[in-house]
Amino acid sequence: MIEMDMLDKPIKLPFFNRSMSVKSVLIHGLYWILITGFFIYEKKYLIYKASMPYFVACVSVRVLLLVLIGYLNLQYFLPQYLLKKKYLAYFTAVTFSVFGYLIIQSLFDFYLYGYVVGPIRNSRLMESLSYNFFSTLWYLGLMLALKLSLDWYEQQLVIQKITLEKLNTEVDFLRAQINPHFLFNLLNNLYALTLKKSDQAPYVVLKLSEMMEYMLYDSADEKGALEKEVAYLNNYMDLERLRFSHAAAIKLNVNTPIDGYQIAPLLLIPLVENAFKHGLSQQSENAWLTVNIALSGSTLFFTVENSKSPLPHHKIKGGIGLGNLRKRLELLYPNNHQLLLEDKGDNFSAKLIIEL
């Protein structure tokens, strides 16, 4: 099987200071094979009416002249004149090349059919000129259509590549924003525990180490294992349980098997982080948070529900996580996700549905 990189490799064209990809060369080659096959079928009677050498000469002259005039137009006249808006020069060059082709081809036909084949066809030069003129325009039109089609296709590939690189760059930028933002919150949690001189500090450091390993080595990939993402989420919630102690009921429920599924890394944490930051952190008692994860086929249902104070609070600095989540969903799962947020006064619900 030919690798796609090999098909895109450029090849230097003889007689022209230009290159074509292997893919384009193969397409052009197939085009000329079809044209040659048509002439072989059309002129096969010459084998019997004249001889094999005249048959070969007839087909070869037609194909070689069309190749010459076709690539003069595509590789020289088009870029040198038409693309530079030198329309008169382009029209003049094409006209002279067509007339040059007509003279050579019509003289050859006049000799072949008038003196070699005999009365099988009318040997009048004007009829030969007329036939060759319209057939030349037809084949030049096909060549130009082929050229424009290939250029459009390659342009679309370039646009697609640039778009993909732009999306990947933006996703990497958003991920780079998430990591320090999230680490900032974790260090605040660890700082609170050290102030209390908690014996669970080593446990916290171990959890933090596991999380940092995921952030450093797994989150750089475009997609990773869903079970690792959930394990990362569970570690984060374990750290928050230590901070809130018995003041909050914090639960993570995985309701279906999640092995074998892939998801963009660090996509779930912003909703949970948002629930702690704007919900539980603003309450002194009866706080709760429940996270539910379920799969139906390849559709992920991720729900975060948390208690919140019904009283208005001053706006907290930040808000990076949720804004980045929206952007990443638009980039990574366009038209394949839903993010539903609902403020119910004394509790808040966030539901994320993704077609993995």
- Is there a contact between 102 and 132 (Cβ–Cβ < 8 Å)? yes
Q: Taking residues 68-79, report their average pLDDT.
A: 78
The chain-wide mean pLDDT, for the chain, equals 77
Listed residue (230, 228, 222) closest to 272, CA to CA = 230
Q: Running DSSP on this structure, what letter comes out for residue 13?
A: P
Question: In the predicted model, is pLDDT for residue 78 greater than 80?
Answer: no
Poorest-pLDDT segment among 120-124, 129-133, 230-234: 120-124
Q: Residue 83 and residue 133: Cα distance in Å, rounded?
A: 25
pLDDT of residue 15: 58
Number of Cβ atoms within 10 Å of the Cβ of 18: 13
State pTM to two decimals: 0.54
| Per-residue pLDDT, 42 | 75
**Do the beta carbons of residue 348 and residue 211 sit within 8 Å?**
no
Interior CA angle at 54 toward 48 and 55, to 5°?
A: 60
Segment 97-120 shows an average pLDDT of 73
The pLDDT value given to residue 311: 65
Residue 318's pLDDT is 43
Strands (E) located in 193-244 = 224-225
| Residue 316 confidence (pLDDT) | 45
Burial 253-288 (b: 16+ CB within 10 A, else e): ebeeebeeeebbbbbbbbbbbbbbbbbbbebeeebe
pLDDT score at 252: 92
Which tops the pLDDT comparison, 157 or 269? 269
The answer to whether the CB of 186 falls within 8 A of the CB of 237 is no
> Is the model's pLDDT at 315 over the cut of 60?
no
pLDDT at 261: 92
Instruction: Express each pLDDT in 217-261 by its tens digit.
Output: 777 777 889 999 999 899 888 877 877 767 778 899 998 888 889
Residue 120 clears pLDDT 60, i.e. is over it: no
